[in-house]
Structure 1
Amino acid sequence: MMTNLFSVFDPTSFIFYFSLNWSSTFIGLLIIPMSYWLIPYRWSMMWYNILITLHNEFKTLIGPMKSYGMTLMFISLFSFILFNNFMGLYPYIFTSSSHLSYTLALALPLWLSFMLFGWINNTQHMFAHLVPQGTPSVLIPFMVCIETISNLIRPGTLAVRLAANMIAGHLLLTLLGNTGNSLSLIMLNCLILGQLALLILESAVAIIQSYVFAVLTTLYSSEVN
C-alpha cells in the first residue's frame, strides 16, 4: 500500500544497500537487437536518418564554430534521455528520469562546464550577455541582476521540467489504474481506452522532453561562444 502519492517513484529493490531500480537507467541498451550493430536494416536506417536530422539541427543552433563533434554530445544526451523515458513506460520498471537526482546530474555539469568555458575564454562576451542591447542606463543594474538570476536557475529549470513532465503523466496513469477495482464493466472498458490514450500521450511526451532538454542545452552552449 502506498504511503503517499509519490511513493510509486521511490526505489524499493535493494541488494547490499545498492538500489536495483537505478539499473533501469542502462536497461535500455538491452532492448537494442544485436543485428543493429552488425547489419544495416530498415529500423537502423530510420534511426540513422533521425540522428542525421538532429545533427543538422544542432549544428545550426550551435552556429559557425570550430568545435567539431559537439553535436555528438547532444545527440548522445538526447538518445540517453529518450531511452530512459521510454523504459519508464513499461510496467514494474523504475522511472529514473522522474527523479531530480537524475535530471540534475545531467543538467548541472553541462551548464557548469559551459559557464566555466565562457567566463574563462570569452569574458567580454559573457559580460555583454548580462545587458541586452538598447537597455537604458538607469535599468542596467536591474537587468544585470535579472540576467544573472535567470542564468543561475537554468540547470534547475532544465531538471525540473524533465522530472515534472515525467511525474505528471505517470501519476495520472497510476491514479486511474488504482480505481479499476471499483468500476463496472462498461466503465472499466472506458478506463482501459483512456489508459491507452494516456500511454500514447506519454510516449509523445517522452520524445518531446528529451528533444527539448537537448535543444535547450545546445542553445545554452551556443551563448558562450
Structure 2
Amino acid sequence: MMINLFSIFDPSTTLIFSLNWTSIFISLLLLPLSYWLIPSRYSYLWSFIIKTLHIEFKLLLGPLSPQGSTFIFISLFSFILFSNFMGLFPYIFTSSSHMTFTLTLALPLWFTFMLYGWMNHTQHMFIHLVPQGTPTILMPFMVCIETISNLIRPGTLAVRLAANMIAGHLLLTLLGNTGSMLSLPLLSTLISTQLLLLMLESAVAMIQAYVFAILVTLYASEVN
C-alpha cells in the first residue's frame, strides 16, 4: 500500500543502493543493436524519423548554423523519447517525471546558449530584449518582461516535461488502485480504460520529447 500518492515517483528502492535511475541507461543498451543487426523495418523507420528531424531542426536553426549542429537536438529527442517509453513498462521508474532529470537537461543547454549568445552576439541579444515596434515609453517594461521570460525558460522546460509525464501516471495509478473493489463488468471497463490511457501516454511520451527538442532548438536559433 502506498504511503502517499506521489511515492511512485520517489527515486529510491528497498535495496542497499538505488536502482531506479538505471532506467535512464536501459535505453542506451538498445541503440547499438541497430549498428550490428541486419536493417529491418524498425531501423528504416528510425532512420526516416532522424532525417525528418534533421531537416526540421536545420530550418529552425537557419542556414548559418554550423554543420552537424542538429545532431545534439536529435540525440536529445531520442534520449527523452526512450526515457519516456521506459517508464511505461511495469516496475520501471520514469526518470523523465523527476525534476532532477528534466532540469539537468534544460539548465545546461539554456545556460550554454545564453553564454554563447552574450559573448559572441551581444548586440543581437540586446535587440531581443526590445521587440520591434515597441513604443519608447514601454521599452523599460518590455526589457524587464523579456528578461524574466528568458530566465524562467529552463524552469518551464523542466516543469512541462515532468508534469506531463506525472499526470498520466497518476491517473493510471488512481484507476488501477480501484480494481480490487470493482465487480467483473466494471473491471472489464476499467481495463479497457487503462488500455486507452496507456495509448494516450504513449502519444504523450512522443509529443513531449518532440516539444522539448523543438523548444531547445528555438532557443538556440535566437542566439545566432
TM-score of the pair, normalised by structure 1 = 0.96
The residue number in structure 2 matching 1:8 is 8
Matches within 5 A, 1:97-176: 97-176=96-175
For the 8 Å contact 1:14–1:20, the answer to whether it is kept is: no
Number of residue pairs aligned between Structure 1 and Structure 2:
223
Alpha-carbon separation, structure 2, partners of 1:84 and 1:166: 11
TM-score of the pair, normalised by structure 2 = 0.97
Percent of residue pairs identical: 71
Alpha-carbon separation, structure 1, partners of 2:180 and 2:15: 33
In structure 1, runs of 5+ residues without a counterpart are: none
- Amino acid across the alignment from 2:89: Y
What SS does the aligned partner of 2:132 have?
coil
Alpha-carbon separation, structure 2, partners of 1:82 and 1:169: 16
Alpha-carbon separation, structure 1, partners of 2:27 and 2:134: 49
Q: CA-to-partner distance for each residue in 1:9-63, whole Å, 9 max, x for gaps?
A: 11232655x42100000111334583x2122222101100110000000000001
The residue number in structure 2 matching 1:24 is 23
The residue number in structure 1 matching 2:191 is 192
Alpha-carbon separation, structure 2, partners of 1:180 and 1:28: 31
- Amino acid across the alignment from 2:2: M
Matches within 5 A, 1:86-97: 86-97=85-96
For the 8 Å contact 1:75–1:214, the answer to whether it is kept is: yes
The residue number in structure 1 matching 2:62 is 63
- Amino acid across the alignment from 1:73: I
Alpha-carbon separation, structure 2, partners of 1:185 and 1:30: 40
Alpha-carbon separation, structure 2, partners of 1:51 and 1:147: 33
CA apart distance, 1:211? 0.1
Alignment root-mean-square deviation, CA: 1.2
Give yes or no for the alignment of 1:49 onto 2:48: yes
- Amino acid across the alignment from 1:182: M
CA apart distance, 1:175? 0.3
What SS does the aligned partner of 2:52 have?
helix
Alpha-carbon separation, structure 2, partners of 1:33 and 1:70: 22
What SS does the aligned partner of 1:13 have?
coil
Cα gap change, 1:182 to 1:15, in 2 (>3 Å): closer
Alpha-carbon separation, structure 2, partners of 1:69 and 1:47: 18
What SS does the aligned partner of 1:26 have?
helix
- Amino acid across the alignment from 2:69: M
Alpha-carbon separation, structure 2, partners of 1:126 and 1:12: 42
Give yes or no for the alignment of 1:37 onto 2:35: yes
Cα gap change, 1:170 to 1:223, in 2 (>3 Å): same
Q: CA-to-partner distance for each residue in 1:45-87, whole Å, 9 max, x for gaps?
A: 1100110000000000001124111100000000000000000
